[in-house]
């Protein structure tokens, strides 16, 4: 096993005198922070993280092929992500004057009864003070963000294509399973928001790519509509490789879907954060918030329910409609059952980087050392985007 990461990439840039150019991409925001504004990268694609990572992966695969050994390669391609700075020619592939905004980029979020923290986030973005380049308006800035986002997607497409070309060229294509996935989605102007927070209450964030490829073994072009989750990756790979399943995995084997068959994998799909849980079942998305989440605006409690067949852009919250009360109860019961029966991971670091020492320093013990959430501190936090 070989590992390549940030330190090795930084060394690569320093050897070529490109470290300052790369650093500039991450420091063109205020006080050195990443921005959601966008521009073309000053780095060539070959010197970008994507170009470098692909070459590292190809070098490794070439080496183990010569040695006659099997391989498992995880290639992490950072884009599309802040900073939205695709290299050329990917930036110039798009014209801001011809871009089409999402259908839910502009609508009355209050009338739609969107969550209060969603509405406040959209209001902050609409001030436009996050923009860095002229014209420094919300209208111009969001088009630049979308421009950069799409350019980043095309850059990643190119990088994946280089990997597939290598497999094909070296005669490895039919013996290699390729999986394309992501950790989360992003807001690319949906709901007037420019980045993933606030997140789990939207398909834009929780419905991520999950593309499997094995020529001659998987059903080409098959689109599975069943609910699957990232935890299904490991047990499925074990099954395909003829290995015993992992005893600690909550995932399921989805091999039958890859063969083009049908069949339920998970009755529901759940996305979690500290004070909110999202349930996807059939055509509905339900988001649960505890009553103390929005006590001022909704003293009797608040939730979200969307019919994604009728309202795929999630612009009509049905939670308060009497005719959907049974649906809300059903999904709430499903969530409770899932929480009781699903294995809960525990670590000494609690919530990792966000919930460990950093969070304790920034939020004055929002998260306790044992990883539990401090509810009193959460109630007083102004920014609930990540809840």
Please tell me the distance from the alpha carbon of residue 104 to that of residue 190, in angstroms, as a whole number.
6
Which of helix, strand or coil describes residue 127? coil
Q: At what angle do helices 116-126 and 138-169 cross, to 10 degrees?
A: 100
Specify the range with the lowest mean pLDDT, choosing from 91-100, 103-112, 247-256, 349-358: 349-358
Domain covering 1-224 assigned CATH 3.30.70.330 in the classification: no
Over the stretch 172-208, which tens digit does the pLDDT of each residue have? 999 999 999 999 999 999 999 999 888 788 999 999 9
Over the stretch 132-182, which tens digit does the pLDDT of each residue have? 899 999 999 999 999 999 999 999 999 999 999 999 999 999 999 999 999
φ, ψ (nearest 5 deg) of residue 150? -65, -40
Q: DSSP readout, 227-273? A: ---GGGHHHHHHHHTTPPPPTT------HHHHTT----S-S-EEEEE
| Cα 139 from chain centroid (whole Å) | 24
Collect all residues with Cβ–Cβ distance below 8 Å to 213 and sequence separation of at least 6.
164, 177, 178, 179, 180
377 is written with which tokens? 């501190």
pLDDT of residue 352: 42
pLDDT of residue 96: 95
pLDDT confidence bin for 1, thresholds 50/70/90: very low
Q: Where does residue 88 rank: exposed (0-12), middle (13-18), buried (19+ CB within 10 A)? A: middle
- DSSP 8-state assignment for residue 37: -
Q: DSSP readout, 65-85? A: HHTT-----------SSSSB-
Inter-residue contact 318 to 262 (CB < 8 Å): no
pLDDT confidence bin for 382, thresholds 50/70/90: low
Percent of the chain with pLDDT strictly greater than 90 = 73
Over the stretch 29-47, which tens digit does the pLDDT of each residue have? 454 556 899 999 999 999 9
Name the pTM for this structure: 0.87
């Amino acid at each position: 096993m070989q590992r390549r990461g940030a330190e090795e990439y930084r060394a690569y840039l320093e050897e070529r005198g490109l470290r300052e150019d790369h650093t500039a991409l991450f420091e063109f925001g205020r006080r050195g922070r990443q921005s959601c504004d966008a521009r073309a990268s000053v780095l060539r694609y070959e010197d970008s993280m994507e170009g470098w990572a692909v070459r590292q992966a190809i070098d490794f695969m070439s080496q183990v092929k010569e040695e006659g050994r099997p391989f498992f390669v995880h290639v992490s391609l950072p884009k599309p992500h802040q900073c939205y700075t695709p290299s050329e020619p990917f930036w110039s592939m798009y014209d801001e004057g011809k871009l089409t905004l999402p259908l839910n980029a502009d609508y009355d979020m209050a009338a739609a009864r969107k969550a209060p923290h969603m509405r406040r986030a959209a209001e902050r973005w609409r001030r436009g003070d996050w923009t860095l380049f002229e014209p420094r308006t919300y209208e111009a800035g969001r088009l630049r963000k979308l421009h950069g986002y799409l350019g980043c997607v095309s850059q990643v497409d190119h990088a994946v294509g280089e990997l597939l070309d290598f497999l094909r060229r070296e005669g490895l294509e039919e013996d290699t399973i390729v999986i394309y996935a992501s950790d989360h989605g992003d807001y690319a102007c949906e709901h007037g928001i420019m980045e993933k927070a606030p997140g789990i209450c939207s398909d834009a964030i929780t419905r991520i790519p999950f593309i499997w490829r094995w020529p001659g073994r998987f059903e080409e072009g098959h689109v599975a509509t069943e609910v699957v989750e990232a935890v299904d990756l490991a047990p499925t790979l074990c099954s395909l490789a003829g290995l015993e399943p992992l005893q600690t995995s909550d995932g399921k084997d989805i091999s039958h879907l890859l063969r083009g068959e049908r069949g339920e994998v998970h009755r529901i799909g759940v996305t979690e954060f500290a004070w909110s849980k999202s349930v996807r079942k059939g055509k509905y998305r339900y988001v649960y918030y505890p009553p103390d989440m929005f006590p001022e605006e909704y003293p009797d409690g608040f939730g979200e329910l969307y019919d994604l067949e009728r309202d795929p852009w999630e612009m009509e919250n049905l939670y308060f409609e009497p005719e959907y009360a049974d649906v809300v109860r059903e999904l709430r019961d499903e969530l409770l059952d899932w929480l009781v029966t699903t294995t809960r991971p525990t670590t000494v670091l609690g919530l990792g980087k966000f919930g460990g020492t950093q969070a304790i320093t920034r939020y004055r013990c929002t998260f306790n050392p044992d990883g539990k959430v401090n509810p009193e501190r959460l109630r007083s936090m102004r920014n609930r985007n990540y809840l």
